[in-house]
Structure 1
Amino acid sequence: MIDKINKENSLGRETLPFPVDWVRTQPRKVEDILSGLSVEEQVRTILGLDPYLQQNLLMLSEKAVEVTRSLPVEEIYNLIKEVGKEDSLLVLSMASPDQLQYIFDLEWWQGDKFQPKRALDWIVLLDQCQDPETLEWFLSEDFDQKVVLLQAFFKVYKKDEMTDSYEGVEGLEHFSPDGVYDIFFKVENSKEIRKLLLLLYEKDQRLLHDLLEAVIWYPVTLTVERAYQWRMNRTSERGIPEFQEAMGIYSRLDPETLKLKLPSLQEFPVSRFRLSPRYPLAHLDETLFFTQCLAILENENRLETLRWELVCLANKVIVADGLDLSSMDIRHR
């Protein structure tokens, strides 16, 4: 079955082991067919399809969580961007912490600037998912990123000689999760943040206290810089380079580079089953010479590598042009 799916869906075209209209007209039959496929077979089937169809198939799968978490993070991000984050809550609720981390690394930053409004919008959205998923992501996030996030949302004081100044809190909403730390919200929409803090208090009081102490004592600018460096480390591992490296795409081509050994699949980001994102090739014009060349390529590893190369190439152009990686207009160009 895997070989059949590979062959038919090699360029990300919409090919399924059942008529596509069955998803709408005979969903029970689709469920039965999907239940007979392994997780890997379902992932290979879903990759590269129209994002709305991808979401519908995930909703019909008995192994939806495992299949979702086995998809490349880039494919999940593309699905959510195309369908819309408000309309893809089910996928968000099933996404792994690593997948959510990738999404937030792209959505919460513009260049080296942290975007608190965007972050708050996503926190509000996550609140509509199940609590364990929200907390699972928050517990996995790096410490500096947590501090940057919380410093953007509230001030913290406590009644001791070092931290009892309570400056600039007039008119701010007050909340205390434990009767020790006094939190004053700088944002109007505090319900979801309050809920997140209470969940964290129930799960890991030590971590919550460490975070609140860090909100008090960590210098904001330095903490943002550290969080940004951690973010850059993560995104570079997913083929998103720093600006200086990305600018190399506009440098003069050295003929000697044509003699270099072709990159291997092992050099690119890892996903379960070592599958690459399909969305860059999903809607290629079949009359293009490039598309025709891909169609006759028989080496599956080379094809997987080419897909990754195209993803990394697109990322490099976006970064070099100083554009927003999360912009739908930019992604559609």
Structure 2
Amino acid sequence: MSELSTQWLRSERASLAKARGRRKLDVILDSRQPEALVASLPAEDLFFAIQEIGLADSAPIVRLATPEQFRLFVDLDAWKGDEIDPEKVLLWLRLARGPEDEEYRARLAGLDLEVLELLLRGIVRVFDLEEDGEPPDELEGTIEHTAEGRFVLVYPSEGAEYAAARRLIQDLYAEDPFRAGRLLYAVRWELESELNETAWRWRNARLADLGFPSPQEAASLYAKVDPSAPLPAPGAPPDEPPGFFLASLESGTLLDRALGLLPDEARDELQLQLVAVMNASFVADRVDVSDSDAVRAQAQAVRATIELGLSQLAGDEPVRASTLLAGASLKHLFQVGFTCTLELSWKAQRLVRELPLRLAANGAFLPDAPDGDALETLLRRRPRYHGGLDGPGARAEVRAFATHDEILRAGAALDRIEALGLSLKAAGLEPARAAASVIEAWGDAGISRARFGELFVTAAAREASGLDFAFASLPASMLDEAARAAFDDDARLRPAFRQGAIAALERAAGAIEAPVRAAAEAALDRLEAEVGPQLLAEGRLDPRFAAPWIVPA
């Protein structure tokens, strides 16, 4: 390939990386050499582009694809688990048929015979005249004899399947009569389970060459490693040309800056390593690769986890990071990053086991947002970071951990959660009794609403009304008295109520740490902000709208 064509292909791939949705189709078709561009692209990247564009609009690209690329489209999209999906195969065949029969037949010939046999088996009934003899007279449907006279084919009387199957068999005979006869013989005599197993095996072997491992091997991606151990050498990357999909995810992160310091050849090799890690994650996490949004989200999570591993070992220094990348296994960097999140997850699991951090299995975690939400995301099968930990006003998005600072913020949240859990335990919180009280007041849905803030301010209102400081509801008959005790004439919380509430929590728990005091003060601020305006406007509270106080309606 000439230097000029190499530069042209890099430029076209960069344009594809920037394009979104149907604009990708325009980039390809407006190229000066669309067929050469498509042939130069990794089949996997092309498949993702087709899914992003939409199958209905992607026929022009499918008809430019090589037979090998087309076969991968079917490998990726036409299987449900370990069984072929005939409707998807027919869809791809319809997309592949263009005005040039020769090109279509080349794509058809590139598919495994077993895939076509399984497709036809569900549509056409085949009689082998040499071994079956003449078929019965009462057959229903459209009946045809094959050109060599050996088979009788019985199609459905009408419909899209009839037309598709009939044309497919005609195409097969036009391309290679001997191969077509073998196919019909297999449709008639081979066991469906054996055909499916053979097709499945061929398909998986091809995907393995592209970095899609077996489920057992893919699971090793999430293995715990020793971050301080020497980095292993990288394995062989997939034998693929450079692509454009991963470039669409670049956002100026440490990984991007470090890659940018490497020569083109080293960067291309690392991108192929990244493809292998991404594909392993698709298998391990059972990502539907035909779902473009799910694919992009998973790819971003993989990059973030590698980024985390890189930052753990290189800090925020691009030069050091690029030196490390030059001889590193990206799979190992991913495992280093994932191990950091595992340590947080294990602590979160321990806290939930040992401390009263929710009222019921289906209830919300008691720490108020964002800590309670962060606890939930840390307990996921793949621990995630909650954006609310970034600070006031931050987007509460859930994303993969990407930086050491995020690890530190999540660790600090767990420290606050532990302090709160210890205080609740010392204060005698009985989750089952508190849950019953919440359900009595707010119904079953209340379990997902009641957190520390609601329990604490309600316990404080109980004490201010002459009841005990307890994690239970406030009787509706005591609501007016509680409001008078808590709020002044301007609907602001009385300083004495604030001080008394904190003091009551300290007495119940023995002592409270600074994070617990801060959580209690924040809960009192929310009480004033949510109840005060209603009290000022109406002069009294309606039990139905007295939250965060837990009051039976």
Coarse TM-score class (shorter-chain normalised): 0.7 to 0.9
Aligned equivalent of 2:269? 305
Highest RCO, 1 vs 2 (Cα 8 Å, sep ≥ 6): 1
Count of residue correspondences: 289
Q: Distance in 1 between matches of 2:246 and 2:133?
A: 52
Instruction: Quote how far apart the aligned CAs of 1:314 are.
Output: 1.9
- Contact 2:288/2:295 (<8 A) preserved: no
User: Is 1:217 aligned to 2:189, yes or no?
Assistant: yes
Aligned equivalent of 2:177? 205
What whole-Å deviation, never above 9, does each CA across 1:161-214 have from its counterpart, x for those lacking one? Answer: 4355569x9544434442542222369422133222212222211111111111
Q: Distance in 2 between matches of 1:225 and 1:68?
A: 31
Aligned equivalent of 2:95? 125
User: 3-state DSSP class of the match of 2:154?
Assistant: strand
- Of residues 247, 268, 289, the one that matches 2:254 is 289
Q: Whose radius of gyration is greater, 1 or 2?
A: 2
Aligned equivalent of 2:289? 325
User: Is 1:154 aligned to 2:119, yes or no?
Assistant: no
Q: Distance in 2 between matches of 1:321 and 1:223?
A: 27
- Of residues 227, 241, 266, the one that matches 2:199 is 227
Instruction: Quote how far apart the aligned CAs of 1:54 are.
Output: 4.2
Percent of residue pairs identical? 24
- Which blocks of at least 5 consecutive residues in structure 2 are unaligned? 298-553
Q: Distance in 2 between matches of 1:161 and 1:145?
A: 24
Q: Provide the alpha-carbon RMSD of the alignment.
A: 2.6
**1:217–1:161 Cα change, 3 Å:** closer
Of the structure 1 ranges 148-157 and 103-112, higher mean CA displacement relative to structure 2 is found in: 148-157
- Contact 1:114/1:224 (<8 A) preserved: yes
Q: Distance in 2 between matches of 1:240 and 1:224?
A: 19
Of the structure 1 ranges 180-189 and 208-217, higher mean CA displacement relative to structure 2 is found in: 180-189
Instruction: Trace 1:139-150 onto structure 2 (pairs within 5 A).
Output: 139-150=109-120
Q: Distance in 2 between matches of 1:257 and 1:145?
A: 46
What whole-Å deviation, never above 9, does each CA across 1:21-63 have from its counterpart, x for those lacking one? Answer: xxxxxxxxxxxxxxxx53x333212214225444323323443
Q: Distance in 1 between matches of 2:49 and 2:39?
A: 13
Instruction: Quote how far apart the aligned CAs of 1:255 are.
Output: 4.9
**1:329–1:218 Cα change, 3 Å:** same
Aligned equivalent of 2:237? 268
Q: Distance in 2 between matches of 1:227 and 1:184?
A: 25
- Contact 1:92/1:129 (<8 A) preserved: no
- Which blocks of at least 5 consecutive residues in structure 1 are unaligned? 4-36
- Contact 2:63/2:97 (<8 A) preserved: no
**1:331–1:174 Cα change, 3 Å:** farther
- Contact 1:58/1:67 (<8 A) preserved: yes
**1:107–1:54 Cα change, 3 Å:** same
Q: Distance in 2 between matches of 1:292 and 1:96?
A: 35
Instruction: Quote how far apart the aligned CAs of 1:89 are.
Output: 1.4
User: 3-state DSSP class of the match of 2:224?
Assistant: coil
Instruction: Trace 1:99-138 onto structure 2 (pairs within 5 A).
Output: 99-128=69-98, 130-138=100-108
User: 3-state DSSP class of the match of 1:325?
Assistant: coil
**1:75–1:172 Cα change, 3 Å:** same
**1:110–1:257 Cα change, 3 Å:** farther
**1:256–1:184 Cα change, 3 Å:** farther
- Contact 2:78/2:84 (<8 A) preserved: yes
Instruction: Quote how far apart the aligned CAs of 1:125 are.
Output: 2.4
- Of residues 226, 240, 243, the one that matches 2:215 is 243
